[in-house]
Structure formats: C-alpha cells, structure tokens
Amino acid sequence: MRDVVVALALRTPGGRAKKGTFRQTRPDDLGAAVIRALLRNAPNLDPARIGDVVFGCAMPEGEQGLNVGRNMVLLAGLPDRVITRAKALLAELEDAGQTQTDVRDAAQLGLFAPPVQDPIAAELAALDLAHLTPLEALNLLHKWQQRAGRVGPPEGHEAP
C-alpha cells in the first residue's frame, strides 16, 4: 500500500472579484504559486516522490477552466508522471460515464489504494476474548510485537 502524506496545507487568499488585488491573476497561476510555496516550506520533500496533487477550484473560468489542476501542476514544475496519473484518472471517469460535474453523480476517483486489513488486526478481530486466558493473551501480544518488529524474545528465552 502507498503511504499518503499531507506535508503542509496552504490556500490562496480570497478577494473581491472585480476590484480585488488578484482580479488579473489566473487561478492556475495562483494554484501553482501555492504548490511552489508548499515545496519551499517542505525542503525535505523530493518533488519526484509526489504521485498525486488534489486541488480544488471553486470557479474555474476563462481559458484555464477545464484544465486548472493540470495547468497548476505544469506551472509549478512537478514531474510529468503527475500529469500522466491525472490523465489515467480522467480516462477512468470517462469510461465510467462520468461527464457531469455534479458531486452526487461522481464516480469514485480511486486516488488512494483501498485499505488493506492488517493481519494482526484480523487475528485480533477473530479472537474469542471471553475464553482467552491471561497467559494466552500475553503470548499473543508478544507474538504480534515480534511480527511487527518491535521486540525480541523475552530475556532468558530463545526465539521460537
């Protein structure tokens, strides 16, 4: 399973549409500035490790309207594979017949891998706690800790 990490969160400022400071600034330029600021504020984050960018734009208008997220990623200088991934997701939506922008009709994007149940959690869920002795419980806990790589065998005992 892929690890999903939210390194930082930023947003663009709001303003008055026809009189505000950003009235002549395209939304994709603002978004790209946010992505670049995020990268500056997370110096240990290698842009090559970024797999997906999820960005919201309340009113995509003008020449950037249908590609605002793609344009932001390109303008921010992120790797081409981020765009490739976006194209694959778009193709999935189109194949699913998703052509509307109404959230009630949206198909699941699959941005994140489905959760995989941890084998220890599955074992724990299957336990009959009413019939488990304290010694059995301790042995199970020790076994799970070993499996998780957290501890070695108890002092004076060899590993099984």
Most confident range, picked from 32-36, 99-103, 110-114: 32-36
The confidence score (pLDDT) of residue 135 equals 93
In this prediction the pTM is 0.49
Note the pLDDT tens digit of each residue in 71-95: 888 888 888 888 888 778 778 777 7
Name, in order, each residue with C-beta under 8 angstroms of 8's C-beta and a sequence gap of 6 or more.
38, 41, 42
Give the tokens for residue 85: 């991934």
How many helices and strands, by DSSP H and E, does the chain display?
A: 5, 0
Among 32-36, 64-68, 108-112, the range scoring the smallest mean pLDDT is: 108-112
Domain ranges of the chain: 27-105, 117-160
1 with 113: CB under 8 angstroms?
yes
Rounded Cα–Cα distance for residues 18 and 126 (Å): 61
Rounded Cα–Cα distance for residues 145 and 113 (Å): 26
* Between residues 20 and 56, the one the model is more confident about: 20
Q: What H or E segment, with its residue span, contains residue 73?
A: helix 68-76
Rounded Cα–Cα distance for residues 33 and 75 (Å): 8
- Packed helices 68-76 and 27-41: angle between N→C axes, nearest 10 degrees: 40
* Between residues 127 and 52, the one the model is more confident about: 127
Cα 117 to chain centroid, rounded: 18
Note the pLDDT tens digit of each residue in 40-71: 888 888 888 787 777 766 666 666 566 777 78
